[in-house]
Amino acid sequence: MSERNSFVREVAEKKYEYGFTTDVQTDIIEKGLSEDVVRLISQKKGEPDWLLEFRLNAYRYWLTLEQPTWGHLKMPPIDYQAISYYAAPAQKPATVVGASSADLDPELIKTFDKLGIPLEERMALAGTAVDAVMDSVSVKTTFREKLREKGIIFCSISEAVREHPDLVREYLGSVVPYRDNFFAALNSAVFSDGSFVYIPKGVRCPMELSTYFRINARGTGQFERTLIVCDDDAYVSYLEGCTAPVRDENQLHAAIVEIVVKERAEVKYSTVQNWYPGDSEGKGGVLNLVTKRGHLRGRDSRLSWTQVETGSAITWKYPSCVLSGDGSQAEFYSVAVTNNYQQADTGTKMIHIGKNTRSTIISKGISAGKSQNAYRGLVKVASTADNARNYSSCDSLLLGSQCGAHTFPYMDVHNDTAVVEHEATTSKISEDQLFYCNQRGINTEEAVSLIVNGYAKEVINKLPMEFAVEAQKLLGVSLEGSVG
Amino acid sequence: MLEVKNLHASINGKEILKGINLTVKDGEVHAVMGLNGAGKSTLSNVIVGHPAYEVTEGSITFNGKDLLQLKPEERAHEGIFLSFQQPVEIPGVSMVNFMRAALNAKRKYQGLDPIPAGDFLKLMREKRSIVELDSKLTSRSVNEGFSGGEKKRNEIFQMAMLEPLLTILDETDSGLDVDALRVVAEGFNKLRRPESSAIVITHYQRLLDYLKPDVVHVLIDGRIVKTGGPELAVEIENRGFDWIIRSERDEVRG
Amino acid sequence: MSAEKQYTDFYAEVRETIAARSCDEMNACREKALQTFAAQGFPSPKMERYRYAKVEADFSPNYGIALAPLAGPLPPYCFRIADADPRVRVLYNNVADAADSIVALNTLLSVDTLVVHVPRGIKVEHPIQISNILKGEHDTMVSRRILIVMDELAEADVIITDRAASQSRFLTNQVIEVVMGDGSHLSLYEIEETHLLCTRYGSVFVQQGRNSSLHHTSLTLFNGHTRGRLDVQLQGEGSEVTANGCVIADKMQRVDNNTLIDHQVPHCQSSELYKYVLDDSAVGAFAGKVLVREGAQKTISKETNANLCATRSARMYSQPMLEIYADDVQCSHGSTVGQMDEAALFYMRQRGIDEPEARLLLKAAFITEVIETIPLLSLRDRLHVLVDKRLRGELSKCEGCKLCK
């Protein structure tokens, strides 16, 4: 943890050193969504015609859709005309000036104390510096040379559109087409920025690539877009962290992550999502409506999704894998914690198309307070997927009698050589375990945190080291006040 | 009865048997000894036609028939019985139904009518007592919930029911205590007919004390490197396999 | 003409005939049912509980609609609704999901209701057998209604069989309502052995009182298209339900079972085991939801769905669901789709059993687990024989049926 902090601080200082505010746009466009707004976004970003065309097609298609209702979620109505669709990366000088810890919600300070983020960063949190720090832009700046030596491209997607238009054009929307779903269409029309990664053939990316996302300005939505292409025999581990300031209205976050994995390549994608979950009365919080999908195109390719979801008022996300390459292997490891009035409907889709493909799903749901936590997953074995194997295990832990834990797996098997296994259990935290801890002098709250971390260990262990520590602390924080 | 010539076999593209020659005459008991991984179980599986193994070269004839052309069940009908090293559990298939299906399949192959139900049950009772197999076990599903010893006893019981010409005992002694071993071995001896033969695959002399082999083979790395009388088994019990491996190497060098 | 319209038009034409042949309790529900059906139409696959059904296609063909009241001598404890205890008659259409348009269509077109009423404390010794025999030269749609009322501490076995005695196209829409008093026990069996031209929609709705126990078994041995729905409301503490099913399907058969076990109060138990053997181009679906409502503490629930696909063209959809709003519970579900145990197959072949026979034995063994849970021993034996015959392809005619001979 401390290593991470010093790293974060270091980067923060560097950022100031280079005076980032100068080259960042600061304007927010009028609220509302129309074809003109889409054109304006594209124009402001100086995009080529094909990309404008892509956005417009997505927008026109989006107009024909209705917001999906199949999730086990009580979604507040979203007024898509009350959102501003372009708030340039939010480095607003105005907020940097006068930022102080006094502006911060005491609950948030407590949270960050527990996470071990020191005070100067908290100060920064009120303004934009942390954004800059936690933004991928700075990370890539730091290591850009080192990465470039290996031919790795890691930059913002806007930059990629300018510098590597052929790559972006080839892959953008190739995994998540804009027709995929309501939120994917919306994102495709208005996406602001995000990260682009290209790992060339045979290259193992020497460091973890990471992005911190943060929603800042009031009344804006965040629509970032991540595109990762891992060429033959290449490897990359990618981390994504999310935080948001406390707001009493809901904020919309509708991102897309697309991953292309070629022959024998391997991608690990880890997320620690800690968007603002709303207060203990259920007011405010981020609506996290995300489409993430990887396409295992190449023979013997591998993709692993690991997620620790503790934040957001509503989480609607299903990081998925399309296993087309023969012998490809996919994993999904998830811990989703909900407390107070949080709602999560999350899981994965494993679409087996290639022969001898394998997938593993391990999902751990933890519900507390008055929250609702649902696993929803699809395992599909196409008739072409000879010898496909899937194993799914979905466990739910209930802390308290007013929360809900739900499991909705869908299995669709169309090949006689496939073996698909699913198992799920739901149970409450064991009184015996709690008492045992109490007897050893551990108070109930700590004991719950201990037990929950033990329960989630299988997933936490899949995270890169520094993320794992953070995730463990988050589990404790998220469940605070849920027992006793 | 059985003639194996220059047998080469592989599994998943890996060659395990590298030219086996073995002749078993009517009424003979052969022991095949060797370390783990030498190819002993592969040999037995190939003789009975396990689909995972591929025969790449050589031949097996059984009473003049080309065994390699026959399906596993036809080899069984011809009179070859394998007592499995690890008999599989088949939940939901009762022992009675299983045995009746097996016996009637053989009778059909021989051009006989299915055995009348009464005769069948009588036969079950008779043979069961020889191997001291609890009647509770024959009313259960095949091998389901059987202990290691019970599974081996059940194998011998099935042998008794099917009266094979050639029985292959694949590590039948593994996992058995001395008493169970005695019961199984004595059962086997009682049930054996003078003209029937056996191949006994084992690590140890222990089982051979009861079964009295006529010929002992040592299988190393997919080849039979030494063949002798019962005294060879005793020597292996006392000296291990190393001396054979060494002399084999010397021979190769020489 | 839309699929719905042929039914509403038909009803408009014959409403007076129906009313005249029926009784007040049933007639009183028709107007509402008509509204529900006309407003909703047939359920689309977009509705979660009809995800795997093809309702419109199933109801579209032009069927003649049977409007005959129950005839012939009825088994003990069975009545035409008009002759049943008034206390029982009022329960009609109070258990079924009246908002469901398949139920509404049944309520609209059913002329009579078979009432099974077992009075307080009576233990019915012999199983009550209800045989539904479809017979006729013309393609026919049958709307069938059954109401089972178990008074307190009553016990009975009810076996309902569906058979077809002629090779016409048949569509059955059956609704069974079950009310179980405190401490009552019911074993309810639904056995279907019809033919490829038969489509069957069977919906069973159950309300269970305190310490009551239900054992429901659904067996689809031979059919065309089958849609089974089972909704159980555990309303009294200490009640238990076991809901099992097995399906053997091949050719172009389609079987879709959809269950909901609703734990409303504490200390109830539910257990489900559904097994499918699919061959040729058969399509199977199982969707089972266990709902544990807030406050339903100490619930114990287990749900298992295991499936064997024997060919590449067979297709299985499996969807076991848990929706839980109480914390002190033990709930689990498991689902598998797989193939035959190759080791077991080889073992059998080594013993001389040829491959087709060995496969057949393994399929039967797979189904056996469900049959072995049946409390009625004589039925178990009978079913073992039926399953064996079915797998051997010897069940083209309904077994033991006098009409077929």
- Between these two residues, B252 and B201, which has the higher pLDDT value? B201
Q: Does B114 touch chain C (CB under 8 A)?
A: no
Shortest Cα–Cα distance, C188 to chain B (Å)? 24
Spatial separation of the C-alpha atoms in residues B59 and B69, rounded to whole Å: 10
* Model confidence pLDDT, tens digit, residues C53-93: 999 999 999 898 888 888 878 999 999 999 999 999 999 99
% chain C with pLDDT above 70? 97
pLDDT > 90: percent of chain A: 41
> Which of helix, strand or coil describes residue B79?
coil
What is the C-alpha separation between A347 and A345, in angstroms, rounded?
7
Would you list the DSSP string of A276-305? ----TTS--EEEEEEEEEEEE-STT-EEEE
Q: Are C295 and C328 a contacting pair, CB within 8 Å? A: no
Quote the strand ranges of A297-371, DSSP E: 302-309, 314-317, 320-323, 329-338, 343-346, 349-352, 358-368
- Amino acid occupying residue C235: Q
Residue A60, pLDDT > 50, answer yes
Q: Give the rounded distance of the alpha carbon of A55 from its chain centre.
A: 22
Class of residue A60 by CB neighbours under 10 A (exposed 0-12, middle 13-18, buried 19+): middle
**Of the candidate ranges A126-135, A185-194, A457-466, the one whose mean pLDDT is the lowest:** A126-135
What local confidence, expressed as pLDDT, does residue A431 receive? 75
- Burial class for A443, CB neighbours closer than 10 Å (0-12, 13-18, 19+): exposed
- Mean pLDDT within C343-371: 93
For residue A432, the model assigns a pLDDT of 76
Test mutation, B46, B88, B139, chain C, max C CBs within 10 A: B88
User: What is the pLDDT, as a whole number, of residue A13?
Assistant: 28
- Indicate whether A9 pLDDT > 50: no
Which of C278, C308, C322, C336 to probe by mutation at the A interface, max A CB count within 10 Å? C322
Q: What integer is the mean pLDDT of A218-226?
A: 75
- What architecture is domain B2-253? 3-Layer(aba) Sandwich (3.40)
The terminus-to-terminus CA distance of chain B in angstroms comes to 35
How much is the average pLDDT of B128-153?
84
In terms of DSSP bridges, do strands A285-296 and A314-317 run parallel, antiparallel, or are they unpaired? parallel
Hey, is the C-beta of C295 within 8 angstroms of any chain A C-beta? Answer: yes
Of the two residues A44 and A481, the one the predictor is more confident about is A44
Q: How confident is the model at residue A93 (pLDDT cuts 50, 70, 90)?
A: very low
Q: Which residue has the higher pLDDT, A54 or A96?
A: A54
Q: Which chains touch B (3 or more CB pairs under 8 A)?
A: C
With H, G, I as helix, E, B as strand and everything else as coil, classify residue A37. Answer: helix
Q: Which of C309, C318, C331 sits opposite A425 (nearest CB)?
A: C331
Element (H, E) at C270: strand C269-278
- Dihedral sign (CA A37, A43, A47, A51): positive
Of the partner residues C354, C367, C368, the one whose CB lies closest to the CB of residue B73: C354
Yes or no, beta carbons of C353 and B51 under 8 Å apart = no
Nearest CA in chain C to B160: C351
Average pLDDT over residues C30-43: 95
For A24, phi then psi, to 5°, come to -110, 135
* Average per-residue pLDDT for chain A: 78
> Out of B125-139, B158-172, C7-21, C356-370, which region has the weakest mean confidence (pLDDT)?
B125-139
> Is C352 in Cβ contact with B76 (below 8 Å)?
yes
Distances (CA, A) of C262 to A87, A395, B217, C296: 48, 20, 67, 10
- Beta-carbon contacts of residue C342 (< 8 Å; ≥ 6 apart): none
A 10 A CB-CB count for A239 gives: 21
CA angle A40, A43, A45 (to 5 degrees): 110
What's the CA gap between A340 and A370, in Å, rounded?
Answer: 5
- Residue bearing the bigger pLDDT, C43 or A102: C43
pLDDT range class, residue A214, cuts 50, 70, 90? low
Look at residues B26, B143, B23 and name the one whose alpha carbon lies nearest to residue B93.
Answer: B143
3-state SS assignment for residue A193? coil
- The strand ranges marked E within C44-113 are 64-65, 78-80
Rounded Cα–Cα distance for residues A366 and A448 (Å): 11
Q: Is the Cβ–Cβ distance between C224 and C253 less than 8 Å?
A: yes
Residue with tokens 């979905």: A394
Gap from A241 CA to chain C (nearest CA, Å): 30
Tell me if residue B36 falls in helix, strand or coil.
coil
pLDDT at residue A102 in the model: 39
8 Å CB contact between C131 and C161: yes
Q: Can you give the pLDDT at residue A223?
A: 85
Q: Where are the alpha helices (DSSP H) in C319-354?
A: 342-350
Angle ∠(A76,A77,A82) on CA atoms, nearest 5: 120
Give the confidence band of A455 by pLDDT, cuts at 50, 70, 90: confident
Nearest CA in chain A to C308: A416
Nearest Cα to A191, choosing from A343, A51, A399?
Answer: A51
Summarize the confidence of residues A73-98 as an average pLDDT.
62
Residue C8 Ramachandran class (φ > 0 left, ψ -120 to 50 alpha, else beta): alpha
Helices B95-109 + B148-162 axis angle, to 10: 30
For the stretch C215-240, pLDDT in tens is: 999 999 999 999 999 999 999 999 99
Could you tell me the pLDDT band of residue A195, with boundaries at 50, 70 and 90?
confident
Instruction: Measure in Å the smallest separation between the Cα of C287 and chain A Cα atoms.
Output: 9
| For residue A422, pLDDT beyond 80 | yes
Residue A466: pLDDT band by 50, 70, 90 thresholds? low
Size of the B and C interface in Cβ pairs below 8 Å:
79
Cα separation values, C6 from C2, C38, C42, C386, Å: 7, 11, 12, 38
Q: What is the mean pLDDT of residues A26-42?
A: 81
- Taking CA C245 as the corner, what is the angle to CA C242 and CA C250, rounded to the nearest 5 degrees? 175
- Mean pLDDT (whole number) for C108-118: 96
Mean pLDDT of the region A128-150:
48
Distances (CA, A) of C146 to C25, C70, C91, C233: 14, 11, 11, 18
Who wins on pLDDT, A114 or C74? C74
Edge-to-edge, what's the strand order for the sheet holding B29-33? B80-83, B166-170, B197-202, B29-33, B215-220, B223-228
Share of chain C above pLDDT 90, in %: 82
Q: Would the CA dihedral through A254, A167, A163, A44 be positive or negative? A: negative
Region A369-398 average pLDDT = 93
The DSSP secondary structure of C185-229, one letter per residue, reads: EEEEEEEEE--TTEEEEEEEEEEE-TT-EEEEEEEEEE-SEEEEE
Over 60: is that where the pLDDT of A294 sits?
yes
For chain C, what percentages of helix, strand and coil (3-state, to nearest 5) are there?
Answer: 25, 40, 35
Determine phi and psi for C5, rounding to 5 degrees: -60, -35
Q: What average pLDDT does the segment B145-168 reach?
A: 90
Task: Check CB contact under 8 Å for A426 and C332.
Answer: yes
Kindly tell me the sign of the dihedral angle through the C-alpha atoms of A149, A151, A154, A156. Answer: positive
What pTM was estimated for this model as a whole? 0.82
pLDDT above 70 for A14? no
- Residue B113's pLDDT band, with cuts at 50, 70 and 90, is very high
Q: Flag whether residue A43 sits within 8 Å of chain C, measured between CB atoms.
A: no
The helix (run of H) or strand (run of E) holding residue A167 is helix A165-171
Q: Give the strand pairing for B53-62 and B2-11.
A: antiparallel
The confidence score (pLDDT) of residue A118 equals 37
Residue A157 in this model has a pLDDT that exceeds 90: no
Average confidence (pLDDT) over A56-64: 94
Interface contact C338, partner A, CB < 8 A: yes
Interface C:A, ≥3 CB–CB pairs < 8 Å: yes
Length of chain C: 405
Q: What is the ipTM of this complex?
A: 0.82
Winning range, highest mean pLDDT, from A373-377, A398-402, A426-430: A373-377
Range of weakest confidence among A317-331, A437-451, B148-162, C151-165: A437-451
At residue A103, the pLDDT reads 43
Res A143: pLDDT: 63
What string of DSSP letters covers C166-192? Answer: SSS-EEEEEEEEEEE-TT-EEEEEEEE
Identify the band that residue B101 occupies on the pLDDT scale cut at 50, 70 and 90: confident
Structure tokens at B92: 């939901």
Under the banding of pLDDT at 50, 70 and 90, the label for residue B153 is: confident
d(CA A384, CA A356): 10
3-state secondary structure of A86: coil
Distances (CA, A) of B133 to B21, B140, B176, B184: 36, 12, 15, 10
Residues near A168 by beta carbon (within 8 Å), at least 6 away in sequence: A157, A160, A161, A196, A227
Q: Is B201 helix (H, G, I), strand (E, B) or coil?
A: strand
Q: Find the mean pLDDT for residues C203-223.
A: 97
Most confident of the following: A400-414, A452-466, B207-221, C284-298? C284-298
**What mean pLDDT comes out for the span A223-233?**
93
- pLDDT, residue A12, reads 26
Domains in chain C: boundaries: 3-343
Print burial letters for A470-479: b (CB count within 10 Å at least 16), e (below 16): bbbbbbbbbb
Note the helical H segments in B49-177.
Answer: 72-78, 95-109, 117-130, 135-138, 148-162
Determine the pLDDT at residue C397: 52
Structure tokens at A259: 């991953």
pLDDT single digits (tens) A295-353: 999 999 999 999 988 888 999 999 999 999 999 999 999 999 898 899 999 999 999 99
